[in-house]
Amino acid sequence: MRKKKPIKAVEMVRRIRDAHFPENKTLESFDWEFNAQVIDRVQIEELATGDFLRRAENLLVVGQSGIGKSHLLEGIGRRACDSGYVDSRPRCRRHVCRCRDSGGVDGKGEHRQGTVR
């Protein structure tokens, strides 16, 4: 995600629309009690500040199915859009698909060596 100058409400709405978030998930709507043993709320709230973006660091979240990864990532992404960042997940999805299509990841979620172009 890239940082832009201060944004207006119209620009924020455009960023969120252009991010193509699959649902309307926010960190405020996340059920923190559901997986309190697995999900560290303090860490997620820290990620939502966008400091990792300012440091140009990547974020990769892995875990079992159904623990709330997609909800949390969308919430973090929405907060980033609110702060003036552009969501680059669509570009990342293309790279993951290329890796999968080239034999990088099989249908069982296991990684095999492949090339991302």
Sketch the domain layout of the chain as residue ranges. 9-86, 89-117
The answer, yes or no, to whether residue 101 has pLDDT greater than 60, is no
pLDDT tier at 21 (50, 70, 90 boundaries)? confident
Domain 9-86 sits in CATH at: 3.40.50.300
Whole-angstrom distance, CA of residue 78 vs CA of residue 104: 29
pLDDT tier at 2 (50, 70, 90 boundaries)? low
The answer, yes or no, to whether residue 5 has pLDDT greater than 70, is no
Bridge partners (DSSP) listed for residue 3: 85
Which carries the bigger pLDDT value, residue 77 or residue 111?
A: 77
pLDDT tier at 6 (50, 70, 90 boundaries)? low
Q: Which residues contact 18 (CB under 8 A, 6 or more apart)?
A: 86, 87
pLDDT in tens, 66-95: 999 999 999 999 998 888 887 665 555 555
Which residue bears the tokens 């939502």?
48
Query: Quick one: 26 exposed, middle or buried, by C-beta within 10 A (0-12, 13-18, 19+)?
Result: middle
Q: Give the pair of three-digit tokens for residue 100.
A: 């999968």
pLDDT at 1: 56
- Provide φ and ψ at 2, rounded to 5°: -105, 145
| pTM of the predicted protein model | 0.68
pLDDT in tens, 27-54: 999 999 988 888 999 999 999 999 999 9
